[in-house]
Amino acid sequence: MTSSTRKNDSGHTGNGAVELLVDEVDGVDGGVGQTARAARAAAYDRWLRGLLPRRPGVALVAVGGLGRRQCAPHGDLDLVLLHAGVPGVDELAAAVWYPVWDAGLRLDHSVRTVAEALSVAQDDVKVALGLLDARLVAGDAALADTLVRTAADHWRRTAVRQLPALREITTARWAAHGELAFLLEGDLKEAAGGLRDVGILRAVAAAGITDALRPAVRAAHLRLLDTRDALHRQAGRRVDRLVAQERDGVAALLGLRHLPSGAADPARLPPAAADPARLRQLPSDAPDAPRRAGAVGDGDALLRRVAGDARTVSHALDDAFRAADRLRSGHRRGTDGRPLRRPVARDVVEHDGELVLARTAIGARPDPSLSLRVAAAAAVTRLPIARATCEWLAAYCPPLPAPWPAEARAALITLLGAGPGLVPAWETCDRYGLIEGWLPEWTRLRSLPQHNPVHRFTLDRHLVQTAYEASRHTREVDRPDLLLLGGLLHDVGKGLPGDHSAVGVPLAEAVAARIGLPAPEVALIGTLVRLHLLLPDVATRRDLADPVTIAGVAERVGDPATLELLHALVRADAAATGPAAWSDWKGRLVAELVARVRTALDTGVLPAPPAPDPALLAGPLPVVHLTADRVAVAAADRRGLLATVAGCLALHRLEVLSADASSVDGRALVECRVQPRYGLAPDPIALGADLRRAVNGDVSVIQRLRGRALAARAGGAAPRVVWHREAATDAVLLELRAADAAGLLYRVTCALDEAGAQVRAARISTLGGDVVDAFYLVGGWPAEADRARLEAAVLAAV
């Protein structure tokens, strides 16, 4: 089909009749819900019927949302002009398409005979699925009925053969859009578990392969449609990605309001596929519950509800694809004609591509570790656990004693270290409530949003993903089991008041003790949780050449084994967080810090600070050296050189990651690590020329710097200054926490220079839209009045 949008001749979109109809619909339940969707479809039907001239052998057929009577407030119209070879069909199509375009509506359209439509459906599985939603809007009913019946019959006969191609397309879409259940800003339509997947389930059910549209799936589908409608209404346009800034407004439209303190939140219950009552409902438990205008919505509750619904859809689709695979391949049988069963672990066998319990395990008294051993086998073999097996384990597997038996503990470590098989096995177990039998803390963590732009996943998925990423580093540490467990538990304190690194320590230690670790290892798990942010924070915010920095980290870490565990954990945590959480530069800084601390722990001797670049100490002044990620400048000794260099770099759209300033033999030296702010490196000739003119006092460059600095001022939350007294050998540390902005380093270093402070080093750490910039001020601890004066100067510069 062809998709297009046009404006009318006056340049405006809109049509009085359509706008009146839409306004009437939007008055139904605020334009959100099943009743509003059906009313919107009926309004479009009435309007479209008036556009098609009456003629035998011609029918206007709706597919997509209009065909299903599930029209979103700002959705497309998907139309097929079906004809029986009548003359003048192009003029008939124009009579329909142009009014739709003039109304400012997006239109997917095609003109075909029945034979042409079926031929396209044979070659394109997506078209075949679309025809399953075909519905007559106007014209020849018999012609439309022929298409609908023939398309449905063709799908029933060929679905099993076409599903592999559909699965390939679907897998590619999932790779592009991610999993809706775990994303903080997921696409309600295209992500795995979204509305597009419900369409596939509908097609599987239409083919009679399996009962894909179970009651839980239908309920989840209605809630996802409601969320999509509310998102359109909130944004005032077609948008399917549930971005953070729209969540509270969407939640208010859906009637999801903040719960009173201590109230039970049904959205925190496990999303058991067989029990839709456990999924969060609207306040009246009806899809079209009244909405309160202006209510304050609970965006977190909405995200949890969407996650639960997406899980239900995803699990149903996994089951449907496996059922189709079994139909296509048939039962594998042994030489005796009986279904083939292959042992894969104790009490676990493979049957028809799924893991099931051995008959001896079902007949005997269940072992409390059985569910963990089945999960570990699934993760290692990368085979799914049969639905009936999961249901049996949830119903009959006894709870684990405290402490756990050694076999259960070993199964958990095998599961966490299984690599790519971990995530699907864990998610299957979570679906049936098995995880909470192992870790009661999981109820609070499930689908918990993380309000930080660097995070891409909800908390539960982030923890599992960190354990998976940690499995890549198990050969680098002495205790891989503790690394995996630390990865799973490192953020367990999130969602509770206080610093999650501190709050999570007793929680993680309680889990470690419950699973049977000895006391020293329990304490080590607590140390990993407490210090899991230490290395990246110090590496990006402190001067690694300062012996005080190295001594402080060595004292907190304690021994080389713990240092290696923390180094592996921080890399796993960053990989699980998202691409914005890590960079080659940060990796090099962390590795440098680890190497220096390891030397101090092994020898007791603090590494000597690096010597200045010899190239800066020779030749006429000024000296400018440029590489892809480093800028070094030497000039006649004077104050303010760091600010001047920082300003030039901002002028050329370079971000400063670290800066060091020193004075050697009458020369002022500045060395900066940089990266392009917008990905495009500046012209090195122009940059070098500006640096030379600026350090020589060229007024024109200074004026450009000041103009750019004033233009770059940014708003946001109030900035804050924090002082650190004993963080350096020969300096005090001023830490600025503020919104990120181009030229910020230039403005702050200028302000400090004008206030009489000498900056010998700066470390810049960017966290999403915020920065934590650390400035080393030469000298002793300033008096209270001097600190207040410097603080005021810095905040004024921000």
Q: What is the pLDDT of residue 700?
A: 79
Which residue type is seen at 198? V
- DSSP bridge partners of 656: 674
Using 50, 70 and 90 to split pLDDT, how confident is the model at 523?
very high
Yes or no: say if 617 and 716 are a contact pair by the CB < 8 Å rule.
no
Measure the CA–CA gap between 302 and 297, rounded to whole angstroms: 8
Residue type, 162: Q
| pLDDT tens track for 343-352 | 999 999 998 8
Least confident of 369-378, 613-622, 748-757, 766-775: 766-775
Mean pLDDT of 84-89: 90
Higher pLDDT, 359 or 284: 359
What rounded mean pLDDT belongs to the chain?
A: 87
Q: How many helices (H) and strands (E) in the chain?
A: 31, 16
Distance CA 153, CA 145 (A): 12
Residue with tokens 């945590």: 573
Count the Cβ atoms, other than its own, within 10 Å of residue 592. 14
Average pLDDT over residues 62-91: 93
Dist CA 503 CA 493 (whole Å): 5
DSSP state letter for 457: B
- Which pLDDT score, from 0 to 100, does residue 608 have? 78
| pLDDT value for 639 | 83
Say if CB 719 and CB 760 are below 8 A apart. no
User: Is residue 472 over pLDDT 50?
Assistant: yes
pLDDT for residue 2 is more than 90: no
Residue 272 has pLDDT above 80, yes or no: no
CA distance 318 to 665: 70
DSSP letter string over 565-595?
Answer: HHHHHHHHHHHHH-GGG--HHHHHHHHHHHH
For residues 190-195, average pLDDT: 96
Q: Residue 762: which of 655, 667, 688 has the closest Cα?
A: 655
Within 10 angstroms of residue 487's Cβ, the number of other Cβ atoms is 28
d(C-alpha 512, C-alpha 213), whole Å:
41
Give yes or no for residue 291 having a pLDDT over 50.
Answer: no
Q: pLDDT band at residue 267, thresholds of 50, 70 and 90?
A: very low
Is the model's pLDDT at 41 over the cut of 50?
yes
Write b or e for each residue in 60-79: b if 16 or more Cβ atoms lie within 10 A of its Cβ, otherwise e: bbbbbbbbbbbbbbbbbbbb
pLDDT (average), residues 290-303: 65
Summarize pLDDT for 425-461 with one digit per residue, the tens: 999 999 999 999 999 999 999 989 888 878 889 999 9
Residue 20 has pLDDT above 60, yes or no: no
Token code pair at residue 49:
């019927």
Question: 77-83 and 107-112: which strand pairing?
Answer: parallel
Say if CB 18 and CB 47 are below 8 A apart.
yes
Give just the sign of the alpha carbon dihedral 679, 684, 688, 690.
Answer: negative
- pLDDT over threshold 70, residue 336: no
Query: What pLDDT was estimated at residue 16?
Result: 53
Give the model's pLDDT for residue 501.
96
Q: What is the DSSP letter of 386?
A: P
pLDDT above 80 (res 710): no
- Residue 99 clears pLDDT 50, i.e. is over it: yes
**Contact assessment for residue 637 and residue 666, using Cβ atoms and an 8 Å cutoff:** yes
Q: Are 110 and 16 in contact (CB under 8 A)?
A: no
Each residue of 143-163: pLDDT tens digit?
Answer: 999 999 999 999 999 888 888
- The whole-number average pLDDT for the span 22-39 is 74
Using CA atoms of 223, 227, 229, 231 in order, give the dihedral in degrees to the nearest 10.
180
**Token duo for residue 205:** 């059910």
Contact 736, 769 (CB under 8 A): no
**In this model, does residue 632 exceed pLDDT 70?**
yes
Is the distance from CB of 532 to CB of 573 less than 8 angstroms?
yes
Please, how many CA atoms are within 13 Å of residue 394, restricted to the half-sphere of its CB?
A: 20
Residue listed under structure tokens 């990796």 = 587
4 SS3 class: strand
Answer whether residue 726 shows pLDDT above 70.
yes
Classify residue 516 by its DSSP letter: T
* C-beta of residue 577 within 8 angstroms of C-beta of residue 462: yes
Phi, psi dihedrals of residue 295, rounded to the nearest 5°? -70, 150
Tally of CB atoms within 10 A around 237: 10
Cα–Cα nearest to 492, from 557, 443, 536: 443
**pLDDT-based confidence at residue 277 (cuts at 50, 70, 90):** very low
- Report percent pLDDT > 70 for the chain: 88
Mean pLDDT to the nearest integer, 402-408: 95
**Among residues 650, 660, 661, 659, which one has the least CA distance to residue 690?**
650
768: pLDDT confidence band, cut at 50, 70 and 90? Answer: low
Average pLDDT over residues 696-723: 70
pLDDT at 243: 92
Higher pLDDT, 212 or 295: 212
**CA 506 – CA 526 distance, rounded (Å):** 7
Tell me how far apart the alpha carbons of residues 720 and 738 are, in angstroms, rounded to a whole number: 7
Give the SS3 label for residue 257.
strand
pLDDT surpasses 50 at 280 = no
Specify the DSSP element, H or E, that contains 222: helix 215-235
Residue 447 neighbours by CB under 8 Å, 6+ apart: 181, 267, 268, 303, 304, 307, 308, 458, 459, 460
Confidence of residue 704 (pLDDT cuts 50, 70, 90): confident
**Entry field: residues in the chain:** 798
In the predicted structure, residue 296 carries a pLDDT above the cut 80: no
CA angle 580, 586, 628 (to 5 degrees): 95
pLDDT per residue as tens digits for the range 601-624:
998 888 777 888 888 988 899 999
**pLDDT at 22 (0 to 100):** 56
755 close to 790: Cβ distance less than 8 angstroms: yes
Asked if residues 58 and 144 have their Cβ atoms less than 8 Å apart, the reply is: no
Strand ranges for 188-296 from DSSP E:
none
pLDDT of residue 510: 97
Read off the pTM: 0.79
Indicate the pLDDT class of residue 339, thresholds 50, 70 and 90.
low
CA dihedral 673→679→685→690, nearest 10 degrees, is -70
- Split at pLDDT 50, 70, 90, the class of 707 is low
Helix, strand or coil, per DSSP, at residue 763:
strand
Enter the DSSP assignment of 546. Answer: S
